[in-house]
């Protein structure tokens, strides 16, 4: 069974929403240092979960919750030397006092700029789109991954859904030598899931202008596969819209989403979106359009792909069209 549900356990929400760990939500929603807070749950034990504070695409702190053991903190070993990390934070505990949590904040205050210096460029655009406040969309989740009951089921589902997309990319167009780099398989991690003002879900693949020029042209195929995965999930879960609504509500409670939030349509509807940081070269833009047209000709572009340009503060602007 394909699964997707990132509603955090309520005891974890309580400490993040006005509790002793509430500053994690403040960091995640501040808009500085490409910071973002994401909520997660354990699919095998839904009463367990964690919250992850990111700088760009790099996690700087995890707060884990277990219904019988309590809480614990975790960071990557490479970050422990950046600040005053304490090993006893890695053991399960019932909670923290305000003074104890201030010690954790002292670590966060040191590690964020230390990690950011090396990694902020990697995910600055992704974090910006997540936190940008606008009435036309609200970000729900980053690094979206479907879960399956077995590796065999996961592989079979991915293979079946990506097959028509990959077939559309077969056969190199005349004069397009770069086409030899066409992907042989498509990934399973979507950059961003959002909801628009009409209650449709937006499956968004985000590409920075620098460092991704070789992958930008293939983004239409990637996001088509991700949109198909989300549609497959929705087809197998009558409560998909309810799950999305719960995820939206949790982010609203933590003030990671502000303003009026539309209800998710039921059954869910998916908009595949590519968001490219301004400005890729004319040649990269042209190649993207070649791939886009190939998908349209193969009739695997339903619903139609949308392309936007995104700036450093996360605003999505209408794409300017063919180069």
Band (pLDDT 50/70/90 cuts) for residue 211 is low
How far, in Å, CA of 88 to CA of 71, rounded? 12
Q: How does pLDDT run across 148-182, given as a tens digit for each residue?
A: 999 999 999 999 999 999 999 999 999 999 999 99
| The pLDDT of residue 195 is above 60 | yes
Higher per-residue pLDDT: 55 or 91: 91
Question: What phi-psi label fits residue 31: left (phi over 0), alpha (psi between -120 and 50 degrees) or beta?
Answer: left
Q: Which residues are bridge partners to 57 per DSSP?
A: none
- In a 10 Å sphere around its CB, with 0-12 CB exposed, 13-18 middle and 19+ buried, how is residue 42 labelled? middle
| The pLDDT of residue 231 is above 60 | yes
Whether the model clears a pTM of 0.85, i.e. scores above it, the answer is yes
Give the angle subtended at the CA of 79 by the CAs of 204 and 65, to the nearest 5°.
70
Q: Which of 315, 319, 316 is nearest to 31 (CA)?
A: 315
* Residue extents of the structural domains in the chain: 10-122, 132-318
- Assigned token pair, 164: 């028509």
Higher per-residue pLDDT: 15 or 58: 15
Report the Cα 293 to chain-centroid distance in Å: 26
CA separation, residue 294 to residues 155, 172, 229, 287 (Å): 25, 11, 20, 11
Give the pLDDT of residue 323: 42
Are 308 and 276 in contact by the 8 Å Cβ rule? The answer is yes
The torsion angle over the Cα atoms of residues 169, 175, 177 and 182, rounded to 10 degrees, is -10
Give the pLDDT of residue 154: 96
Higher per-residue pLDDT: 57 or 22: 22
Mean pLDDT, range 135-154, rounded to an integer: 91
Give 130's contacts (C-beta < 8 A, 6+ positions apart): 36, 139, 142, 192, 314
Q: Which of 10, 113, 17 is nearest to 60 (CA)?
A: 113
Mean pLDDT, range 16-42, rounded to an integer: 93
Mean pLDDT, range 106-116, rounded to an integer: 87
| The pLDDT of residue 116 is above 80 | no
Q: Which residues are bridge partners to 134 per DSSP?
A: 137
Band (pLDDT 50/70/90 cuts) for residue 212 is low
- In a 10 Å sphere around its CB, with 0-12 CB exposed, 13-18 middle and 19+ buried, how is residue 318 labelled? exposed
Give the pLDDT of residue 269: 96
What share of the chain in percent tops pLDDT 90? 69
> Does an H or E element contain 196, and which?
strand 189-196
């Amino acid at each position: 069974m394909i699964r997707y549900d990132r509603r955090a356990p309520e005891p974890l929400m309580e400490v993040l929403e006005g509790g002793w760990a509430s500053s994690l939500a403040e960091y995640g929603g501040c808009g500085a240092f490409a910071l973002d807070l994401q909520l997660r749950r354990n699919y095998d034990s839904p009463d367990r979960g964690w919250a992850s504070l990111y700088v760009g695409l790099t996690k700087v702190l995890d707060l884990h919750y277990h219904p019988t053991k309590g809480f614990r903190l975790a960071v990557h070993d490479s970050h422990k030397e950046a600040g005053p990390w304490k090993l006893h934070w890695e053991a399960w505990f019932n909670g923290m006092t305000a003074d104890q949590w201030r010690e954790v904040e002292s670590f966060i205050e040191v590690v964020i700029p230390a990690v950011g210096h090396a990694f902020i460029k990697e995910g600055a655009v992704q974090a910006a789109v997540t936190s940008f406040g606008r009435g036309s969309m609200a970000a729900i989740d980053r690094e979206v991954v479907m879960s399956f009951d077995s590796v065999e089921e996961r592989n079979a589902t991915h293979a079946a859904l990506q097959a028509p997309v990959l077939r559309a990319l077969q056969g190199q167009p005349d004069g397009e030598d770069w086409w030899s780099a066409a992907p042989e398989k498509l990934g399973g991690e979507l950059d961003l899931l959002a909801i628009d003002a009409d209650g449709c879900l937006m499956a968004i693949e985000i590409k920075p202008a620098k460092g991704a020029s070789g992958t930008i042209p293939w983004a239409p195929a990637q996001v088509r596969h991700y949109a198909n995965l989300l549609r497959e999930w929705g087809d197998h879960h009558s409560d998909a819209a309810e799950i999305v609504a719960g995820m939206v509500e949790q982010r609203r409670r933590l003030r990671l989403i502000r303003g009026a939030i539309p209800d998710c349509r039921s059954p869910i509807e998916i908009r595949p979106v590519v968001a490219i940081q301004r400005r890729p070269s004319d040649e990269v833009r042209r190649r993207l359009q070649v791939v886009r047209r190939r998908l349209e000709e193969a009739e695997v572009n339903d619903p139609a792909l949308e392309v936007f340009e995104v700036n450093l503060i996360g605003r999505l602007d209408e794409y300017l069209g063919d180069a």
